[in-house]
Amino acid sequence: MARYPALNIMIFLVCTVSGCGSLSYYAQSVNGQLDVLQNRQPIDTLIKNNDLPPDTLAQLALVGQIRGFAINELGLPDNNSYLDYVDLERDFVVWNVFSTPELSLQSQQWCYLIVGCLNYRGYFSEDAAYTLARELENQGYDVFVGGVSAYSTLGWFADPVLSTMLHRGDAYLAKVIFHELAHQKIYIKNDTEINEAFADTVADAGMRRWLAKNNSPLSYEQFEKNQALEDVFVDLVLRYRNQLDSLYKSDIPDPEKRLNKSVILEKMINEYKQINSGWNRHARYDAWFATDLNNAKLMAVVTYRKYLADFKKILLAVDDNLETFYHLVKQLHYCTQEQRRNILLSGNIHFTC
């Protein structure tokens, strides 16, 4: 802990994670981040000592290659991130709570002093996340709680590799690291949807380059197949999200809106079943549809994917040149939120704000 004086940690957490919340939220945020920092161990030492399970050691050894590729091939930050490892002994590091009104797709936001406003509220404690979820549900909100395997401190700390990032395959590990380092590269305050879509665009581009250089053609083919399935899933969510949006903005009475909402969500489930019949089943998407659908659950997907296709079009327009792509995205920082969205939707790479 000598590298991270307690005072600096407290200032960072109060300003960033806990901004406008209650004292209990301050406490869980501080304790959660301190737990991560205090339990980190240098990856080089762990590999040298050889005192972890073989599959864990193999993935930790791979992290160095992934990190080097991110820096040298993708132009992502070269700092002390992903040099240490933390075994959290749980499935997720953070649980994010998403919330919307019953008849609206306007995500509830929580605002913090440095990172700005986010479309979710994160907890290091699963119980605390579900406590908030129940409170919001009792107030009539649609709520969804999703576990997260990694997060970025935006360069304020050296982010470690977490046990929650491992054991889902080498491709998943690489994609998560690319995504989180992209947040360190560019972050636009008060715009969750833009930040997440940008980071996912970089991660997907990085994965294609990584697999082409380091893996067999079969691995690359499997990645492309998975991406195609994800594109179909996201398109499905966005289409039904748009139907619900039109419904909620209509002038019909609320009881009729509630009835039509149920009909639309049921149609979405049925369409998924038809699509999935040709996939030989897919556990990830089956699990998503296995629990009740509501506005918040759809918006959890939309938050990360709404502008992904638009960012990918911009990257394609600059011939997959990441340096040029980063330059353009940085310029969006000077635009208003409405201007950013209009630019992305137009696909115009020659813009001023």
**Residues 42-97: pLDDT tens digits?**
999 999 999 899 999 999 999 999 999 999 999 999 999 999 999 999 999 999 99
> Residue 33: what residue type?
Q
- Report the pLDDT value the prediction gives residue 19, as an integer from 0 to 100: 40
Q: In terms of pTM, does the model score above 0.85?
A: yes
What does the alpha-carbon distance between residue 193 and residue 306 come to, in Å, rounded to a whole number?
Answer: 7
Q: Is the pLDDT of residue 321 over 80?
A: yes
pLDDT of 6 > 80? The answer is no
Rounded mean pLDDT, 325-332: 97
pLDDT at 25: 79
Q: Tell me the average pLDDT of the chain.
A: 91
Contacts (Cβ under 8 Å, ≥6 apart) of 231: none
Pairing of β 142-148 and β 94-100:
antiparallel
* Tens-place pLDDT, residues 31-47: 898 899 999 999 999 99
What would the two tokens of residue 18 be?
């806990």
- What sections of the chain are H helices per DSSP? 6-15, 23-38, 43-49, 54-72, 126-138, 170-185, 192-214, 217-248, 254-276, 283-290, 295-305, 308-317, 322-331, 337-346
DSSP H/E element including 162: strand 161-162
For residue 2, pLDDT over 50 is answered with no
The tens digit of pLDDT for each residue in 172-194 reads: 999 999 999 999 999 999 999 99
> pLDDT tens digits, residue range 115-167?
789 999 999 999 999 999 999 999 999 999 999 999 999 998 999 999 999 98
Q: Decide if pLDDT at 17 tops 90.
A: no
Q: State yes or no: pLDDT of 15 exceeds 90.
A: no
pLDDT at 182: 98
Cβ neighbours around 75 below 10 Å, total: 15
In this prediction, residues 290-296 reach a mean pLDDT of: 95
Q: Is residue 54 helix, strand or coil?
A: helix
